[in-house]
Amino acid sequence: MLRRLAVFPARFVPVNLIRALLCLMLLLAACNPATETLSPTVVMDSPQPPAQIAMPSLTYTEVLPTATTTTILTEIPPIPTVPPTFSPIPLPSQAINHSTAMYVCPWAGLAQSTPVFTYEVVNTYPHDPAAYTQGLIYRDGVLYEGTGLKGQSSLRKVDLGTGEVQQILELPEQYFGEGITELDGKIYQLTWQEQTGFVYDATSFEQVDTFAYPTQGWGLTHDGNNLIMSDGSPNLYFLDPQTLDRMTTWAVWDAEKPVFMLNELEYVEGEVWANIYQTSCIARIDPSNGKVIGWIDITGILAPEDQPGSEVPNGIAYDPAGKRIFVTGKRWPKLFEIQVKAVD
């Protein structure tokens, strides 16, 4: 037997060796798990554990118009209640009497403890029926008016008695002019959706500065120290006229409800008066807390024969020297001097 194995080693040794190697490999496989069953390993560039890796914060970059001198209102946040693309909406049924096509004041009916006032017309003056009035002020015997619509926006100096435009600056056609005010010899003018404001010399109308803001621009006035701005939301923004930084904000409210659509503004004897867009309401607002302390209902001030082509009441101007109040509206052929009186 031993001799036979010695005679044929070349036939049997390779086969036996292969079998031995296979057995060895199977034994090793049983003792060590296969690499495919290992949990995946994530290799991170940062030495920090995953739970401590700081995620980048989301930031919103406002694209502002290019201007030679621009002051950015970085302190005013966007208002979520007013979409950036907000545009005039159809008149709500409670804001207009469809039988007479006359704007009405729904807040007068909602007011419970808030006083409601009416008006008496003292004088009537002619007004450019093509003027889409967005801002109105009276300073030192001169009526200034800001008008809107793209391609028709302007800043004007108007003769009160005749309605004649004595001086005009037309805005570039891409701008929709909004509220205006005058402070320390400068006129400030907002634009609606272009997020750009202009500053002019009040005498020459020469543009001396521009500024930008991340909200829409609606109404503008001042209290002698701060500019006061509206954007269609219930908010009034108080701005430093030099830096255009926001100093404070008040939400306007009455009967525990926010008052939206604050439009053209005027500062009258310590109060902020605001046209409520798409209504004939003027809100009298306490600027120290935003509370509406009175409503002025000017429903019917524009006679039916003057209404064709006319739109919503908009435009309040106050003559502090003569204690006179002027009101008009978009494309109104008349401007009225009124006295505010209690409802009988």
Is the four-CA dihedral 31, 34, 39, 42 of positive or negative sign?
Answer: positive
Tens of pLDDT, residues 100-123: 557 999 998 887 789 999 999 999
Q: Which amino acid is at 258?
A: P
What pLDDT score was predicted for residue 96?
A: 57
The residues pairing with 18 across neighbouring beta strands, listed in sequence order, are none
Q: Residue length, the chain? A: 344
What pLDDT score was predicted for residue 95?
A: 58
CA distance 149 to 330: 11
The answer to whether 282 and 273 are in contact (CB under 8 A) is yes
**What's the pTM?**
0.73
CB atoms < 10 A from the CB of 123, how many?
12
The answer to whether 132 and 149 are in contact (CB under 8 A) is yes
Give the CATH class of 103-342.
mainly beta
What pLDDT score was predicted for residue 163?
A: 96
> In the 3-class helix/strand/coil scheme, how is 73-137 assigned residue by residue?
CCCCCCCCCCCCCCCCCCCCHHHEECCCCEECCHHHHHCCCCCEEEEEEEEEEECCCCCCEEEEE
CA distance 117 to 125: 23
Kindly give the parts of the chain with pLDDT less than 50. Answer: 1-13, 29-31, 33-93, 98-99
With a CB cutoff of 8 Å and minimum separation 6, the contacts of 251 are 234, 235, 236, 258, 290
What pLDDT score was predicted for residue 110?
A: 84
- What token pair was written down for 187? 């006129």
- What token pair was written down for 102? 């006359």
